[in-house]
């Protein structure tokens, strides 16, 4: 996040690989004197419970963990039965908008 903030044109939003990384990014943004989401919006992935209790609260993508588990078991069953070429599997996610992208209402 520090390297992104040091760019001649820093981003106005970041999408982090996980909520934990987003929390670290938020801390770095705050220490730099910038405001979330006024200067930089932050979006995480996982929707951990703590996301709803941060200041500002963290917007996050909530993966369908039950669907991911079902896909994983299905893929393993199929692979044990017969090898298959690599495939792409997709699971649903929901956007959980909070203050880190919407602002304080």
Q: What is the pLDDT of residue 76?
A: 87
Give the residue-averaged pLDDT of 3-8: 97
Residue 70's Cβ-side half-sphere holds a number of Cα atoms within 13 Å equal to: 8
Tokens for 49, please give them: 């419970």
- SS3 track for 52-93: HHCCCCCEEEEECHHHHHHHHHHHHHHHHHCCCCCCCCCCCE
Question: Rounded mean pLDDT of the chain?
Answer: 94
CATH architecture, domain 2-63+94-102: 3-Layer(aba) Sandwich (3.40)
Summarize pLDDT for 48-83 with one digit per residue, the tens. 999 999 999 999 999 999 999 999 999 888 888 888
Question: Domain extents for the chain?
Answer: 2-63+94-102
């Amino acid at each position: 996040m520090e390297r992104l903030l040091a760019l001649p044109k820093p981003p106005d939003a970041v999408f982090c690989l996980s909520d934990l990384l987003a929390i670290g990014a938020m801390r770095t943004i705050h220490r730099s004197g910038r405001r979330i989401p006024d200067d930089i919006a932050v979006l995480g992935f996982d929707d951990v419970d703590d996301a709803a209790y941060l200041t500002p609260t963290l917007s996050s993508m909530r993966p369908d963990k039950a669907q991911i588990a079902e896909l994983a078991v299905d893929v393993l069953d199929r692979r044990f039965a017969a090898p298959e070429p690599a495939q792409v599997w997709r699971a649903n996610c929901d956007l959980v908008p909070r203050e880190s992208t919407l602002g304080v209402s």
